[in-house]
């Protein structure tokens, strides 16, 4: 049968690239990858990511995921970290950690010696590494060229998983021209991202799916600003020691809550006035270069220059004041607890393939606000009590209600098909608990969100899964 495979993989993003990399030495498997997007960005395909009804607290969904070969790797920032052991102690299954170094190799980062150094009573040193953002896609392209056992379909969206409620049979795929096709396989692996994985499960009419939390517990990483620090002389040494930044990555401080289950990571950036001035200066020098290299009428530009002079002087004044005093903005990214209020559900509105779009409800609940506020307050008190400088807190921390827009997400979609013996969608082999031979990969399978960026862990989980296929345990 021409369209029968050992594995159909749904999606051609990071999860899939890492999985294929782990399987590359075994060319006996007949594998088919179905990618909804093309090999370049196509807006009609990207529009399949549009949400149903908007969620005022969250980004438009289409801006948070890319439908293209490589998926959201075409858009990501490349900040990576391993999940700290303290948080991992609350995960039931941590086998993927043995694959972190393979994942780091895929990302183009060298394994760091992860420090667990404690900083007095405050927290721990935190290190984030900067990946070579395009390296995983480049490896994906090489795999596409070099693996004869893998068939690729682009521009075809899996719209349904075909099954008899006991085991899977195959998938139904559709393109934007209205063509529908069936593909059969012994096993199906969903690697379509933290929103599309549960969406596809919800669209495929499984009898027992209601007993699992598909689409529930949507987790993000709330990001925000604490305020800014003006360091003392002693504080400059403290900052130099813990808040480092270079081409390989940057460091900061993790502040965990009492039982270690929830952490908030703090890092420093130059104060925004300084950054604005630096950006504007770059634009001005480009403009000057343009004037000198083209024959355009300079009068209008000179007039524009006059008009812009006053605001520019103000920005310059502020930036110099802050630069002289080495003022830093303190930013944070936080874990989020599993909350029933944060969830995905089908919308009444449909996409171009007549499939229900997704509604997302997301906010930061009261308990998480309390943890984040406590961590911020501990951090600020620590700086002041140790004489490291003064901290000017933003309004939200000193008595005003926390507005929803105080926190933004980090474009990370987690826990929507979570792994877990109790109340899980998938088991420890990433197989769904309601039908056999259907597997799910990616951050939707995280048991909990941790507070660190997800992609390194996503890749490590795919490598672990690939090894299980090779070992015949899947
Ligand atoms: C602006 C931005 C910055 C980010 N920065 C970072 C960062 O610094 N660090 C970090 O760790 N993470 C970051 N991320 C998150 C990171 O990009 C994702 O965690 C990662 O790319 C997810 O990989 P994935 O393969 O699981 O899913 P995706 O990248 O979403 O890939 C899924 C693929 O499946 C395809 N697909 C979807 N549905 C179907 C279907 N029904 N049929 C067929 N194919 C389908 C999609 O087209 C896509 O190609 C960032 C994200 C954004 C948006």
Contact 379, 389 (CB under 8 A): no
Collapsing DSSP to helix, strand or coil, 168 comes out as strand
Atom 14 (ligand 1): residue with closest C-alpha?
76
443 touches ligand 1 (CB under 6 Å): yes
What distance in Å separates the CA atoms of residue 174 and residue 169, rounded to the nearest whole number? 17
75 touches ligand 1 (CB under 6 Å): yes
Q: How far apart are the first and last CA of the chain?
A: 23
416 touches ligand 1 (CB under 6 Å): no
* pLDDT tier at 248, thresholds 50, 70, 90: confident
Asked if residue 409 has pLDDT above 90, the reply is: yes
13 touches ligand 1 (CB under 6 Å): yes
pLDDT digit string, tens, across residues 5-32:
999 999 999 999 999 999 999 999 999 9
Atom 41 (ligand 1): residue with closest C-alpha?
158
Q: Which atom of ligand 1 approaches the CA of 71 most closely?
A: 49
pLDDT of residue 239: 93
| Helices marked H in 78-229 | 85-88, 100-107, 135-146, 196-203
Q: Which atom of ligand 1 approaches the CA of 456 most closely?
A: 11
Q: What is the mean pLDDT of residues 200-219?
A: 95
Atom 38 (ligand 1): residue with closest C-alpha?
192
455 touches ligand 1 (CB under 6 Å): yes
Q: Which atom of ligand 1 approaches the CA of 69 most closely?
A: 49
What distance in Å separates the CA atoms of residue 6 and residue 186, rounded to the nearest whole number? 5
What distance in Å separates the CA atoms of residue 414 and residue 438, rounded to the nearest whole number? 19
* pLDDT tier at 371, thresholds 50, 70, 90: very high
pLDDT digit string, tens, across residues 52-102:
987 778 999 999 999 999 999 999 999 999 998 888 888 999 999 999 999
Q: At the topology level of CATH, where does 4-81+131-220+338-363+413-470 sit?
A: FAD/NAD(P)-binding domain (3.50.50)
Q: What pairs with residue 125 in β-bridges?
A: 253
Compute the C-alpha angle 59/65/71, nearest 5°: 165
Atom 4 (ligand 1): residue with closest C-alpha?
76
What distance in Å separates the CA atoms of residue 424 and residue 448, rounded to the nearest whole number? 11
Contacting residues for 187 by C-beta, under 8 A, at least 6 apart: 6, 7, 8, 168, 437, 438, 439, 474
Ligand 1 centroid vs 67 CA: distance in angstroms? Answer: 8
**Domain ranges in the chain?**
4-81+131-220+338-363+413-470, 272-326
- Give the total residue count for the chain: 474
Atom 32 (ligand 1): residue with closest C-alpha?
192
């Amino acid at each position: 049968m021409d369209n029968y495979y050992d594995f159909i993989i749904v999606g051609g993003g990071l999860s899939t690239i890492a999985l294929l990399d782990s399987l590359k030495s075994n060319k006996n498997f007949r594998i088919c990858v179905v990618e909804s997007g093309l090999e370049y960005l196509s807006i009609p395909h990207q529009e399949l990511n549009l949400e149903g009804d908007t969620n005022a607290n969250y980004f438009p969904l289409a801006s948070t995921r890319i439908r293209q070969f490589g998926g959201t790797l075409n858009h990501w920032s490349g900040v990576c970290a391993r999940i700290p052991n303290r948080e991992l102690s609350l995960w039931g299954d941590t086998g993927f950690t043995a694959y972190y170094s393979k994942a780091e190799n895929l990302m183009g980062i060298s394994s760091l010696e992860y420090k667990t150094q404690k900083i007095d009573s405050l927290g721990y040193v935190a290190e984030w590494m900067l990946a070579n953002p395009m390296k995983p896609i480049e490896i994906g392209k090489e795999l596409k060229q070099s693996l004869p056992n893998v068939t690729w379909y682009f521009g075809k969206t899996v719209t349904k998983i075909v099954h008899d409620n006991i085991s899977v049979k195959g998938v139904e795929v559709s393109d934007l021209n209205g063509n529908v096709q069936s593909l059969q396989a012994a096993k199906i692996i969903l690697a379509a991202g933290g929103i599309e994985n549960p969406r596809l499960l919800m669209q495929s009419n499984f009898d027992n799916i209601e007993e699992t939390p598909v689409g529930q517990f949507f987790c993000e990483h709330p990001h925000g600003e604490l305020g800014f620090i003006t360091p003392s002389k002693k504080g400059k040494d403290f900052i130099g020691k813990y808040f480092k930044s270079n081409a390989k990555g940057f460091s900061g401080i993790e502040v965990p809550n009492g039982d270690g289950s929830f952490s908030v990571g703090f890092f420093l950036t130059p104060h925004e006035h300084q950054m604005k001035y630096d950006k504007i200066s770059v634009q001005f020098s480009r403009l000057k270069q343009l004037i000198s290299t083209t024959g355009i009428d300079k009068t209008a530009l000179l007039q524009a220059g006059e008009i812009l002079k006053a605001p520019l002087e103000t920005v310059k004044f502020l930036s110099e004041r802050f630069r002289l005093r080495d003022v830093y903005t303190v930013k944070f990214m936080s874990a989020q607890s599993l909350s029933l209020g944060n969830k995905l559900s089908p919308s009444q509105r449909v996409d171009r393939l007549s499939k229900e779009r997704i509604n997302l409800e997301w906010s930061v609940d009261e308990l998480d606000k309390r943890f984040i506020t406590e961590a911020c307050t501990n951090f600020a008190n620590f700086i002041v009590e140790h004489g490291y400088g003064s901290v000017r807190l933003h309004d939200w921390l000193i008595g005003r209600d926390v507005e929803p827009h105080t926190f933004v997400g980090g474009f990370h979609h987690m826990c929507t098909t979570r792994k877990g013996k109790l109340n899980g969608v998938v088991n420890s082999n990433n197989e769904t608990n309601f039908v056999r031979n259907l597997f799910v990969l990616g951050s939707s399978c995280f048991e909990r969100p941790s507070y660190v960026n997800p992609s390194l862990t996503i890749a490590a989980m795919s490598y672990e899964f690939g090894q299980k296929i090779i070992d015949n345990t899947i």
